[in-house]
Amino acid sequence: MGSKRTSRRELLKGGAAVAGGLTLGDIASLQAQAHDHPPTPGSQNDSPMILGSKELVEYGQRSRYVTSVRIQHPPGGRPSPDLFGKVFHVASPLQDSVGVITPSSLHYVATTRGSYMPDIDPKLHTLTIHGLVDQPLTLTMDDLKRFPSVTRLHFIECAGNRHTPRQTTVQETHGMTSCAEWTGVLLSTLLKECGLKGSATWFVAEGAEEIKGASSMPITKAMDDSLIAYGMNGEALRPQQGFPVRLIPPGFEGIFHTKYLRRIKIVDEYYMNYNDFGHLRPDPKELALSEQIGPKSVITYPSGGQQLPGRGFYEISGLAWSGGGAIKTVEISTDGGKKWNLAELKGTPQRMAHVRFGYQWTWDGNATEILSRATDEIGQVQALREQIAQWWNVPVERNYRVPGLDNSVMPWKIAKDGSVTNGLA
């Protein structure tokens, strides 16, 4: 307190000195002499000012030092955007992620069959529910927002989210999953409003993009927890995520999360849409693995391409999720899978949502392999590739392709020099 009063007096003195024709440097040295000690350090301004702009005021932006971006998936695949401005698959930078919410700008994007992003005027967009209902219903976006809403965290994962020996970073191996807070109306609310007929067993959801992507889903999923979402992370959906409205059938493969949702038809048979044709398999076991996503986890730090500066303490961090419900436990191995230890879950795991896990680890500087495995609330356990191959009774080759969506354990190798690489390579 006392020194503050002193400095105020100095300021007054300084003001007088300026009036008397002294420079600021003169004042500083006078002050130093007067008190016989230099100005207190610590409050000097080391960084330039970020100049406010209209854009920064209106919609904000991150620091220019934060450069984490999405990348085309798979690397070397079809470029996004292509010559015609179309965006195909882009992966989220999981290696830089913290917490569980993927920022809307960094949420992974997948489009099917070379589809484009429609520039939909929400005032003209409607959603119609028809088929095996007592009363078909057409809703404007304003209508939709009048219904009781829910807000829930849910991940979406693309069926193409596979880890292979050729990939190097976690963005390449696992970047086709993301988690956002979705706001909208439960599909069950709307179906009850229409009155579902007893013969209803499936529903078809259809988007308004150029190929009008449509998928068949069980009516039990519609009535359980499917969400007609118009909000994402506190604002309207982005066009890349289906503006103005999309379907979220939590825990189902990404392709079922119909964007630009314009029509839901209630039917009594699997409708064999083009997207459904893509799911055709000869083996019912493999087919069953291509609808609901299994329990899965991945270590995002340390992960491929990163470098540990030296031996000592680290918090191993990563994400876990399951299409079967909330994550119950995550285990970490830091010795190549010999011993498994419980990780700490950060916050309460939500159903069909990413949960962040952490594990405190002191690296002794020796080469090792780190892995994570998740167990969900219905008891499904994430398996090793070796266990999956054994179940299918096939040899585990280097390029073994796990049937259905690949939820196998991901190993990261840590070398003596602290470099982290793909454990499958």
Answer yes or no whether residue 138 interacts with another protein by CB under 8 A: yes
Interface segment toward another protein; rule CB under 8 A; list 59-67, 92-100, 174-182, 378-386: 378-386
Answer yes or no whether residue 309 interacts with another protein by CB under 8 A: no
Q: Which of 26, 96, 193, 369 binds another protein (CB under 8 A)?
A: 193
Q: Which of 212, 238, 346, 413 binds another protein (CB under 8 A)?
A: 212
Q: Which of 288, 342, 394, 425 binds another protein (CB under 8 A)?
A: 288
Task: State the nearest-atom distance from the C-beta of 110 to another protein, in Å.
Answer: 17
Output the CA angle 89-93-99, nearest 5 degrees: 125
Residues 399-418 that bind another protein (CB under 8 A): 404
Q: Which of 102, 297, 334, 380 binds another protein (CB under 8 A)?
A: 380
Q: Which of 304, 325, 349, 423 binds another protein (CB under 8 A)?
A: 325
Task: State the nearest-atom distance from the C-beta of 45 to another protein, in Å.
Answer: 55
Task: State the nearest-atom distance from the C-beta of 251 to another protein, in Å.
Answer: 9
Parallel, antiparallel, or unpaired: how do β-strands 202-207 and 412-414 relate? Answer: unpaired
Nearer to another protein, 97 or 407 (CB): 407
Provide the binding-site residues for another protein, judged by CB under 8 A: 113-114, 128, 130, 134-140, 143, 146-147, 192-195, 204, 206, 210-212, 214, 218, 220-221, 224-225, 262-263, 265, 267, 269-274, 277, 280-289, 291-294, 323-325, 378-381, 383, 387-388, 390-391, 404
